[in-house]
Every structure is written in structure tokens, then in C-alpha cells.
Structure 1
Amino acid sequence: MQINLVEFYIEKRDSFIRYEAQLAKKIKRIAFFRLLAFSGIAFSLIYLTRFGVFPGVLAALSSLAFFLFLVKRHIRFEKLKKRCGILSGLAKDELKALNHDFSHFNNGKEFIDPGHDFSYDLDLFGEGSLFQFINRTSTLSGGKKLAALLISPPIDKEEIEKRQESIKELSGYPEWRMQFLASGNMFDETERQHDAVAAWPDKEFRFNRYGLIGYLRWVIPAITLASLLPGLLGMTWLFFALCVFVQLSFVYFYRHRIKEYFRFFGEKSLLIEKYVSLLSEIENRGFSSEWLKEMQQAISKPSSACKTIKELGSLVKEFEFGRHLLAGLFLNSIFLWDVRCIYNLREWHLKNRKKLINWLEVIENIDAVISLANFSNNNPGFVYPQVKEGRFIFESEQLGHPLLNPQKRVCSDFKVGGFPEVIIVTGANMAGKSTFLRTVGVNMVLSRLGAPVCATKYVFTPIGLYTNMRTTDSLLKDESYFFAELKRLSFALERLRGGEKLFVILDEILKGTNSADKLNGSKELVKQLAKLKAVTLIATHDLKLAEIGNELPAVKNKCFEIHIKDDELTFDYRLTEGVTKSMNATFLMKKMGII
């Protein structure tokens, strides 16, 4: 399957590169003929008019029509060329990803939050993060939605299973996913543009004499055009001049409203065109899974979102065109252009603003789920979890960390059955304890997202996740490392005592105090956790803490062993039963010449 994926992306990359080269040649030819057509206009007006005004003007108009036709073709081919470049780039990116290089993708560092329940400890964001590994979003809101899902994955069984089905379905549409992402990447929106569009539904636009302008926007231009007749007949231009003055007066009167509307709607035609293209991709695709059908119906019923936003795009383009100095002067003198445009925009806004936010949410949801579908497609060896309700269960076979290179990844079986249970994992330095803790945590996040996990079998009951692996001190809050850790532990216990069910992952608890205090405090914490509705996974170097398993039935011991042979240290990174029998700190210090 992996070889087929590589072949698929190579074929796509090469075909789009070839098509892009063909389009570049066509664009050069069109540029040549545009020059000829433009020369034909000048030639007709300067030379052919010597043989008569009519044939000269007719030839000039014919050359102009041909010139405009070529301009339109040029714009179309330029867009196609840009799209081909984007599509070949997407294929190249996926080929790098299949080679386990995902450094070129956005890492989502803006979403890093050291205070979050688990995202900071599990490296969900930042360089080399799960977000960077998965993220393929083509819109700002899609990236934010994917981050929101990672931060707060669904916990309801039905929702998880619905998402599983949608991810499975989309994973089977690699070409459609590429086309969707290409549409999204045709225009790079800025935060300012994104936020401005997101604010449209809540914006109230004022418009003085709105009802009257509804009639005058047709009546005044009609009178202005009629006033041309006396001038053309050689009688007087006074009526036309008066009409132009009236139109420009209206534009001046509404100048503040025009500026206000342009701040919200202006310079966004390309962004709107992007939304139209994305909505069209969604509306025209036949989906079978329930969640995807729900998304599709939200933008197609009772009316087409694509068609409605396309209307907005046309209105915004008209408004933008009138902002050019010469064009604006002409259009505002004859057609009351800017006033007409803001009237039409307000009419569209009043009718559709409440629907707009729902349509944009569909785009961001599909954009985010496409990333998960791509993750599924690129990792065919991963398995979709079975979701169970009732008594807690966590059962996995060959569980591994999805970010590790498959050639180097070492997987282990791991099983938990019911509350309460405390698993203490011991092992030497670098033996794999912390990586295993993150392996469990990251796969729990993926499983709740409805995505496949890095395992050959995975059965789980969705519950909350809480970690304490990388506590940081804070000079601004005047908090020591030890106090910050106690706060996190206290918060976890508070939630558990309140009846919440949690999977708690702790790495080297109470690191900020002396050995005796650490051991006593750790034992008391384990005793508390063993009474509550929690599954707790604790990694430690302290073998004395593992002895508590002799006292409490809820405590189980597992370990990662190392092997020293012929003065060489080896790791197998496999989880085994019991307490570790070997440590390596002194050995490593001697090898490095420290002692």
C-alpha cells in the first residue's frame, strides 16, 4: 500500500508539472497575440480611418473584442497554471511526508499552552509535534479547528464513531482531497481578512434612507442616460451635467458609509472566490457517511451556499472595480455606482449574514477532517479503534508512537481493565519510559478524534485525559517548579473527587523536593489515586515507589529493561512485567568520562 501511495503522488506530481509547462507555453502565445490585437486597435484608428470612419472604427472594435477575449483567456490560464503549481507542490509535500519528513508543514506553535490538561506534555503543538505531522489545512479557520479538536477531542461514543466513518470515507478520496486543498491554497488569507469576514454576521450596517435609495438607484441613472439625448442631438448638455452633479452629490453624502462598507467588504473578492471554490467542492461530491452528509446538507439546503456566496463575490468585485479613480468617476457619474453597490451589499448582508457563519464552519470542519483523512491514508498500517461504553477498558496490541520513524519504532502491548488502577513504570535513563507515556497519551487523543491509531488492535472507553510530565516554573506568577507541580496534581485530584473519570499520566512526580520527601509524598499520592475513578500511569526511577504494589491490589508494575554486555549498553524499548533490575546513570557517567 505504501508503494502505491508513493507511485500515486509521483504520478500526480509529474502530470501537474507537465500540464503547468504546457500552460506556460499557451500563456506566451496568448501574450504575443494580445500584442498583435492591441497593435490592430492602434492601426485601425490611425490608418484605416483614412478610408472611412466606419470601417476604421469597426476594425478597431473587432480588435478590441479579440484583445478582451485574449485577456480573459490569459487570466484563466494563469489561474490554471497557479493551481497546477499548487497541486504539484502538494504531491511533493506528501512524498516528503511518506519519507518521514514533515518539517515543512505548519507546526502550530501559536497553540502551545503549558497550562493545558495534556497538549503541552504530549507535544501536540510546536516543532516536531503531532499537529505538524497531521496538519494539511488550507484555511486559517481549518487550522484553528484542527487545533481545537486536538485540544478538546470528542468524548461521546456516537460522535467519535461518526467521525471515524467520515475519516475512513475521505481517506479513500486522495484526488478529491488534493483538489480541495488546491482550492484552499489558491489565495493566502491573512488573519486580518479572516477576522473581518468572521465578524460579518455580527455587524450591523446603518443606511440612511434605505427604502428611498432602493428606488433612486434605478431612477437617477435612467434619467441621466435619458439626459444624454439632448446633448447628442446638439441641443444642450445642461440636463446631463445637472444629473451628473446630483449623482456625485449622493456619492459625497454617503462617503462615510461607502468607506465603512469598503473596510468590511473591499479587497476580499479573491478570498470570497476561494470560499466559493471550497463550497463547490463540498456540494458536488457524493458522500455516504452520516457526518459528511450533515455537513453537505448544511450548505446545500434550503439554498446553495456556493451560489449565494458567489453572488456576494460578484457584488464585491463590482464594488472594488468602482474604487479605481477613472472607472469610479465614470461609473459614479452615470450609474450612482458606489451607492448602488453598498445598497446591494447591505441587502445581501441582511438576507444571508446569519447563514454565513454556518457555511464557514462547514468549510473549516471539512478542512480539518481532510488532514485526519490524509493521516489515515498515509498510514495504512494503523488501525481504527473500537469504542466501548460502560466499564472502562484500554486494550492495545503493538502500540507505538505515530511520530516515530516506522523503521525505528518499537511497539508494545498495553492493557488496562477498570477503575481504579495505577501502573508504575520503572526503567533506566533513556530506556523509553517517557516516550511510552506519550505514546499512550497521543494515541488516546487520536482515538477520540476518530482517527486511526498506531497499533494493530485498540479497544478503549473514552474518558478525560490529564498529564503532568513537563511542569514549568513561572517568575511572573512567583511560582516555583515544585509549587507548579503541586497545583497540577491538586487540580487532577479535585476533578477526580468531583466524580470525573480520568486517565492520568505522570512522569517523575515530585521532582522538586528531596529523595525522602519525594518517596513519602509519591506513596501517599498513589494511595489517593488508587481510591478514585482513575487509571494512572506513572513513570519513575524510584524503585522504592514500585514496592507499594505489594500493599495495594490496584497498583501494577511494568518496566523497560536495559542490557549491559561487554561494556556496551543496549536498549530494547519493550514494555515488560515487573520492576526493572538495572540502572545506567553511573555506567553512562563513566563512559563519558564524567567520573
Structure 2
Amino acid sequence: MWKKMMELKQQIQSEYIKNKKQSDRMSNTKLIVFAAAVFGFILGAVFEPIKLLCYFLAILVTVCFIILLAVHSRLLEKCETEEKQLQIIEKYESRRNDDWQSFTDDGSSFITEENKDLMDLNILGSHSLFQWLNIAYTKSGKRKLMKQLTKTEFDETSWKQTQRAVKEMTEHPLFGIKFQAILSEIRNIRKLDLEEKKLYPSECKKPEWISIIMGSVFALAMLVSLVLGLSEMISFGTAGIMLLICLCNLCIFSYFHGAEYEEIEKCIRAFGKMERLISFVSEEQFKEDVVCQYQEKIRLGKMTMHRISKIASLYYAKENMFSNVLFNVVFILNPLLVFLYRNTMKEGSAILYDTMESIEKIELFIALAGVAWVKDTVCMPEKIKEISFSAKNMKHPLLTESECIANDFSCGEEIVIITGSNMSGKSSFMRTIGVNLVLMYAGTYVNAEKFCAPFMRIFTSIGVQDDISRGISTFYGELLRIKKVLDYAENTAENEVPFIVFIDEIFKGTNYNDRLFGAKAVVHKLAEKSCITFITTHDFELCEVPEKKVSNYHFTENYDGDLIVFDHKIRFGQCKTTNARYLMERIGVLSPSN
């Protein structure tokens, strides 16, 4: 897929360069045509005999100039859109080349007490999976992605639908690029929360015909007064009094509908520029049922969105003081604005909500499809019934793929104890499994050739730190994590879904004897449960716990002269080497040994 993405980049880049050159030529042409029009008017003013001919030609050239303005404006818009599309592709290049850490939206605002454990796997927060995947512009769109990545309950039917939708979206990279480019052109979109119920007033007041009728009467009276005043049939003083009455009516109407104007303004800010996006999504050809269903909901909202665009045009006229007075005196702008808004919301509020919900669902599918667009080694994971796990050529999706070491691994309902030297890859291996499981449960591709697992609750105890504000030490923090696992295991109603546990350097926050005693007790308890457990440790004695479910794996290192070399490949069995003394000597903590 990456090759196709680069082909699209070349195609868009070629079009952009061609249109940019054409735009530059048109700018010069506009300048010449404008100068010719001015020259024609000056010539007509100076030379009386050919005045009419000069003015005629000057007007003709002015018309050409206006046409050029319109054509050039459309060309500039096209160039701007293509530039946005190239910027979107550059972001995908950043995801591929490990330059994505500068992306501003990292999901930190969504971290809560309930999901903060997933920070162990870098799902939310700085340098996270959310930061790598996110393409959403609205607050609600980001919230949808967060919920998709932090699921604790599973519905197989919904999961399969998401998988099919993501597969469909993967085949439409150009659609995904254009979708994002159009969204990025909407002003203030990052401030919007499209799930805010106030944007969809279901109990909007009935449209008031009386306001329209009264406004029409005042406008008609004002027009008649002006005509009679110009015809000198009545004095301009009388016409002025009529104008003053109209202005008073305008002020009174605005006062009583102030709150409604605020609603209209919010509605316009949210949806006023969405019509182009709705039209674009409606025209794309999809095959998958779930995507087509969302597309149909978007099509149903097309008329409502068109009406809102018209309301937006009227509202922007109201914002200008001069046009506000003029159009209210002559064309009853304010009553018409309120009438159209009420009428639109009365008929289309529910449709509008479904439309925007569907837009954000499409946006979610595009975000999840990004894994397949960026990575070379991907597969759609397979859900199995038995409590086991297997992966072939598995890599960590947040690492540069060309530099990441792949691992094959499989295990059943067992406790995997992983030993190995410092920096050999123990913690990274657990995170690789965990992050790919999160991608699987989100309904998208994983960074592996093959990946099979059941639905499992994910628990972690990786990188636990103390919390001074709450009086929690590192060791106590670890205990709380382990307790959460054991509580879940004991709750039979909740434990209908099996679980998987990742524990890094178990009980590292306490002394050796207590650590080993506690770790063995945890191993015995988890051996009785329906789960898969990964535990890393430097305590080789833990590898010898007499439990049938315990299996040992390790990472190792080699030495090239004075250099330590890791291959980051997992192997069966217990580790036989250490490198702590070597590292301490290397940085000068210990004196070099003889």
C-alpha cells in the first residue's frame, strides 16, 4: 500500500505544479487585462471622437477581467486543496519514518483513573498509539478513536463489521487523503464537539409565520414610504419616521431572540462549511454494507446541510451592520433567519445528528486504515476461541519498521516468564504484543504477518512509578495493579472474558527476599486462572517455580570486542547471561575488572 501512497503523492504533486504555473500565468494575465481596462477608460476620457468605442472596449475588457478573477479564484482553491493533500501525505510519511512524535494531539486529555494503566503500552499520551493513528479534527472524533483503542467489552458482530469497514477503507487511500484535506479547510473545527446535544435542538420552537408577516408589512411600508418620498408625494420626514419604526422593530426582535441567535451561530460554526464534505463522501463508491449504511445516512443529511449553508449566508449578512439594517428594512432578514432555522431543525435535527455521527465513523475507519497504508508487514488478525496466542513476524507498530526486529511467538493458557540482560528487549516484547492486541480489538490491522488471539481483558504493570501526592510508593503501586488483576479473576460474572497480564520486573520496588516470595505467590494464583501471563524478571529463581503452566523464555546478547550487541530475538529457555556489571564498568560506576 505504501507504493500506492507514493504514486498518489507524485500524481497530486504533478497536478499541483501544473496548476501553480497556470495560476502564476493567470496572475500576470489579470494584471495586463486590468491595465488595458484602465487604459481604455483613460483613452475614452481624453479622446472625445473615439470615446464611445474606448468605453465599449474598456467595459468588454473589464468583463473579461471579472471572468479571469472567478477562474483564477477557483484555480487558487484547487492549488490550496492539493497543497493540503500533500501535507496529509507528508504526515503519513512522518508516521513511517518515526517523525510523528511532534503531532500535537496525543490523547492526554482522555487519560482517566480507569484507563491510565494503558499508558504502560503507550496507548494514550506522549509518544502513543493514539498520537500515531489520530487524524480526527473535532473533539468528538478524537473521543471516538480513544474509545476504540481502550475497549474493555467486546461484541464480535460489531468487531467484524469494523474489520470489514477498515478493509474497505484501506482500498481507498485517495478518498482518505481528500477527506482529511477538506476537513482541515474548515475554520475552528478543532474547537467543535459534534456530540454536544445543544447543536441538535430536538425541541426547537415552531416556526412563527406571524414574525414573517409582520416583518413583510413593515418592509412593504418602508418601500412604499421611500417610493412616495422620492416621488415627493410625502415628505422625507414621514419616510424617516417610518424608517425609525422599522429600526425599533429590528431592535425589539433581536432582543427577544438573542438566545436563538446564539444557537444559530453555534450551528453555523459547526455545520456551515460541511456541505462540501457531505457531497464528497456521498459521491464515493463503496461496497461494504456497514460503510454504505453510514454513507446513506450522510446522503440523507445532504438537504439539511444545504439549508444550513443558506442560513449561514443569511447570518453572515446579518453580521455586517450596514447589510443588517438594509436587509432587515427591505427583506425582513432576521425574522426569515429565525424562521428558516426553526423550520430546518424541526424537520432535520435527528437527521443532522445521524449525519455527523456517520461522518465521524468514516473518519474513524480512515484513521484505523492508516496502519495498512504506512506499514509493509500487516495482516487482519484472526479471533480464536481457545485461550492462546500466536504471531508470526510480529513488530512494534510505533517503531520504524525497517529498523524493528520481528519475532515469532506462540503460547497457550500459561505463564510466560522472560529473563534476559538489561536492554535486551524484554519490556519491548511485551509492549509489542500488547499494542498489537489493542489494534486487533480496535478492528484494524496489526504489524505482523499472522496474528491470532481471543478477546481478552488487558492488564499491565509496566513502568509503575510512585505518586507522592497520593502517598503511593512504587512497590505499593505495583501491588494495586496486581490486586486489580486478581480481583477481576475472582469475579466470575466479570470473568466471562479471559484476560492477559503483562508484568515488567515484578515487585522491583522491594527487597530481593520479599520480591521473590511475592512473585511466586502471584505465579501460583494466576496459574489457577483462565489467562495468559507475561512476567519479566532478573530473579532466575522465579524460573524454577514448580507450576505446569510456567514456561521460560529469554533474550540474550553477544560481545563484539568491547561492544555489547543485542539481536532482540526471543528464545525458549532461561537466560544464562547478565550484563549489569559490564554496563556499570562501561559508564564508570565500577572500575574495569582485570
- State the TM-score bracket (shorter-chain normalisation): 0.7 to 0.9
Q: Give, in whole Å, the separation in 2 of the partners of 1:251 and 1:44.
A: 46
SS in 1 for 2:569: strand
Deviation at 1:7, TM superposition (A): 3.8
**Residue 210 of structure 1 corresponds to which residue in structure 2?**
208
Residue 478 of structure 1 aligns with which residue? 471
Q: Is the 8 A contact 2:137 2:190 kept in 1?
A: no
Cα distance 1:44–1:184, how it changes in 2: closer, same or farther (>3 A)?
farther
CA contact (8 A) 1:27 1:77 kept: no
User: How does 1:11-50 map onto structure 2 within 5 Å?
Assistant: 11-27=11-27, 29-30=29-30, 33=33
Q: CA deviation at 1:123?
A: 1.1
Equivalent-residue separation in structure 2 for 1:268 and 1:73 (angstroms): 31
Change (3 A) 1:568 1:85: closer
Aligned pair count reads 583
Secondary structure of the structure 1 residue equivalent to 2:127? coil
TM-fit CA distance, 1:317: 1.9
Give the SS at the match of 1:557: strand
Distance (Å, rounded) in 2 between the aligned partners of 1:527 and 1:466: 17
SS of the aligned residue for 1:177 comes to helix
Counterpart contact for 2:139–2:192, Cα < 8 Å: no
2:438 to 439, 445, 448: 445
Deviations 1:433-461 (A, max 9, x none): 00001000000011112211111111121
1:545 counterpart = 2:542: yes
Of 289-298 and 470-479, the range deviating more from structure 2: 470-479
Q: 1:229 aligns with which of 202, 224, 227?
A: 227
Matched with 1:90 is 88
- The secondary structure found in structure 1 opposite 2:401 is coil
**C-alpha deviation, 1:142, in angstroms:** 2.8
| Partner Cα distance (1:570, 1:269) in 2 | 60
- In the alignment, the residues of structure 1 paired with residue 537 and residue 224 of structure 2 have an alpha-carbon distance, to the nearest angstrom, of 90
2:461/2:503 contact within 8 Å kept: yes
Q: CA deviation at 1:267?
A: 8.1
Q: Percent identity?
A: 23
1:174 matched residue in structure 2? 173
Which sections of structure 2, spanning at least 5 residues, go unmatched? none
- Give the Å deviation of 1:379: 1.9
Cα offset for 1:408? Answer: 2.0
SS in 2 for 1:119: helix
Shift of the 286–382 alpha-carbon distance from structure 1 to 2, 3 Å rule, reads: same
| Aligned-partner residue type, residue 87 of structure 2 | G
Q: Give, in whole Å, the separation in 2 of the partners of 1:21 and 1:468.
A: 58
Cα shift at 1:86: 0.8
**Shift of the alpha carbon at 1:84?**
2.2
- Please say which of residues 399-408 and 259-268 is displaced more in the overlay: 259-268
Corresponding position of 1:403: 398
TM-aligned CA deviation for residue 91 of structure 1: 3.1
* Matched ranges for 1:95-244 at <5 A: 95-111=93-109, 113=111, 115=113, 116=115, 118-152=117-151, 155-194=154-193, 199-202=198-201, 210-236=208-234, 237=236, 240-244=239-243
Kindly tell me: are residues 396 and 132 of structure 1, through their superposed partners in 2, closer, same or farther at Cα, counting changes over 3 Å?
same
Q: Distance in 1 between matches of 2:41 and 2:141?
A: 48
Question: In 2, Cα distance between the equivalents of 1:47 and 1:239?
Answer: 47
- Aligned partner of 1:377 in structure 2 is 373
Cα drift, residue 338 of structure 1: 2.2
Question: 2: CA distance between counterparts of 1:36 and 1:318?
Answer: 37
The alignment's C-alpha RMSD in Å is 3.4
Structure 1 residues 280-299: aligned runs within 5 Å:
280-299=279-298
Gaps of 5+ in 1: none
User: Shift of the alpha carbon at 1:137?
Assistant: 3.3
Using the alignment, how far apart are the partners of 1:238 and 1:39 within structure 2? 45
Q: Give the letter for the 2:88 counterpart.
A: L
- 1:471/1:485 contact within 8 Å kept: yes
Q: Is 1:266 equivalent to 2:265 in the alignment? A: yes
Match of 2:503 in 1: 506
The letter for the 2-side match of 1:113 is I
Q: Quickly say closer, same or farther: Cα 1:373–1:73, change in 2 above 3 A.
A: same
Return closer, same or farther for 1:104/1:22 CA change in 2, 3 Å cut-off: farther
Question: How many angstroms apart in 2 are the aligned matches of 1:449 and 1:417?
Answer: 23
Distance 1:262 1:43 in 2: 52
Determine the structure 1 residue equivalent to 2:333: 337
CA distance in 2 between partners of 1:563 and 1:516 (Å): 30
Match of 1:569 among 564, 567, 572: 564
Aligned position for 1:524? 521
- d(CA) in 1 for partners of 2:203 and 2:58? 48
2:437 maps to a residue whose letter is: M
Q: Which residue of 2 aligns with 1:360?
A: 356
Is the CA contact (8 Å cut-off) linking 1:396 and 1:457 kept in structure 2? yes
Residue 120 of structure 1 aligns to a residue whose secondary structure is helix
